[in-house]
């Protein structure tokens, strides 16, 4: 490949996550060349665009601005662009971190950016059906639980209505996680959540405990389940 085309291709790929579409990324690269007084030949730009598209379609590609996510280009729709006016869950969780937990503004902004990126890589809940699998990895004491809360809050705002959390191998660990989620997230909008796993520290989800999962449109279900086959089978066998 022509070194000039390769260089411009890489610039286009660098701009893609923030731009949202390949064409917009090309426009940004074109504008930056013009601003420096070095406009690029349009034919070369289009060849670089095609090279970028070919690379995205042939492999998993990095997006770089926030959390170094990996995604399949064909699956990434960029349907979630961040919190919107009228959201109910994320704004309250953000206020809780700022006012109650005493988080610094810059740390909350970093959490906001990372969690928005994760939610943008989920499937769009407004679609009839989708299949997307993902994995979020974090270091010890890196804020994984806070990130999980933020992702749940934003996914709830975006239209998801059922959240299943696999927590620990013992009932006490499961209960610990459920208590944290209630304190940090559910308790700020209690009327909008149905917590279907039990409150007791020695209990876990049981078959048919939840009944049928048919909430009102704005209602959210939360299940905190021990990482054990029996309660997981109970959830899978429950009527839905």
Per-residue confidence (pLDDT) for residue 64, from 0 to 100: 43
Looking at per-residue pLDDT, the higher value among 51 and 57 belongs to 51
Beta-strand runs (E) in the chain = 61-63, 69-71, 162-166, 193-195, 220-225
pLDDT, tens digit, 9 for 90 and up, residues 84-101: 999 999 999 999 999 999
What is the rounded average pLDDT of the residues 181-195?
89
Per-residue confidence (pLDDT) for residue 74, from 0 to 100: 52
The structure's pTM equals 0.65
pLDDT, tens digit, 9 for 90 and up, residues 102-116: 999 999 999 998 899
* 109 φ/ψ sector (left φ>0, alpha ψ -120 to 50, else beta): alpha
Looking at per-residue pLDDT, the higher value among 66 and 98 belongs to 98
Mean pLDDT of the chain: 81
pLDDT, tens digit, 9 for 90 and up, residues 137-180: 777 777 788 999 999 999 999 999 889 888 878 888 888 888 99
Per-residue confidence (pLDDT) for residue 42, from 0 to 100: 87
**What burial letters (b/e) apply to 92-102, b meaning 16+ CB within 10 Å?**
ebbebbeeeee
Q: What are φ and ψ of residue 3, in 5° steps?
A: -55, -35
Dihedral sign computed on CA atoms, order 156, 226, 206, 122: positive
DSSP 155-202: HHHHT--EEEEE--SSHHHHHHHHHHHHHHTGGGSGGGEEE-S-SSTT
Per-residue confidence (pLDDT) for residue 175, from 0 to 100: 86
**pLDDT for 208 beyond 60:** no
**Within 10 A of 167 (CB to CB), how many other CB atoms are there?**
19
State the Cα–Cα distance between residues 201 and 238, nearest whole angstrom: 22
């Amino acid at each position: 490949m022509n070194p000039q085309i390769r260089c411009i291709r890489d610039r286009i790929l660098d701009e893609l996550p923030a731009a949202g579409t390949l064409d917009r990324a090309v426009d940004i690269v074109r504008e930056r060349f013009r601003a420096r007084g070095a406009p690029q030949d349009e034919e070369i730009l289009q060849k670089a665009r095609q090279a970028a598209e070919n690379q995205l379609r042939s492999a998993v590609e990095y997006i770089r601005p926030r959390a170094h996510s990996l995604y399949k280009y064909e699956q990434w729709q960029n349907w979630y662009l961040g919190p919107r006016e009228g959201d109910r869950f994320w704004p309250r969780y953000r206020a809780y971190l700022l006012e109650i937990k005493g988080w610094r503004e810059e740390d909350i902004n970093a959490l906001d950016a990372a969690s928005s990126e994760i939610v943008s890589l989920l499937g769009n809940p407004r679609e009839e059906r989708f299949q997307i699998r993902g994995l979020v990895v974090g270091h010890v004491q890196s804020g994984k639980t806070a990130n999980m809360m933020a992702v749940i809050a934003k996914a709830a705002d975006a239209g998801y209505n059922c959240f299943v959390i696999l927590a620990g191998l013992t009932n006490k660990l499961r209960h610990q996680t459920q208590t944290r989620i209630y304190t940090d997230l559910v308790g700020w909008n209690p009327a909008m959540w149905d917590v279907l796993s039990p409150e007791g520290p020695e209990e876990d989800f049981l078959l048919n405990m939840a009944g049928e999962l048919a909430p009102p449109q704005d209602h959210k279900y939360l299940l905190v389940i021990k990482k054990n086959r029996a309660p997981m089978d109970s959830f899978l066998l429950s009527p839905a």
